[in-house]
Amino acid sequence: MQKRKITQYTLLKDKVLDNHTLDRLKKGQNITLVTLERICKYLSCTPNDVVSFTDEP
C-alpha cells in the first residue's frame, strides 16, 4: 500500500473495507477469503503479496 500511496482512509472511502474489517486487520485478527480477494483486486496483487505465515505457540 505504501508503494502505491494507498491509505487506510482510501480503502474505507472506496468501500474496499469497512471499519470493522480494517480494525481486525490492524489487530492481526482473521479476515474472510472474500475480504482478501477484494483487497487483492483493489491493489492488483496476489494473496502471496499481502499474507505471511508465522509460527505461533
Distances (CA, A) of 4 to 20, 27, 42, 44, 57: 23, 22, 11, 10, 34
Task: For the chain, give the DSSP string.
Answer: -TTTT--HHHHHHTTSS-HHHHHHHHTT----HHHHHHHHHHHT--HHHH-------
Residue 52 has pLDDT above 90, yes or no: no
pTM for this one?
0.79
The cell numbers describing 5, all together, are 500511496
The cell numbers describing 45, all together, are 496483487
| 17 — pLDDT class (breaks 50, 70, 90) | very high
Enumerate the domain spans of the chain: 8-48
Residue 57 has pLDDT above 70, yes or no: no
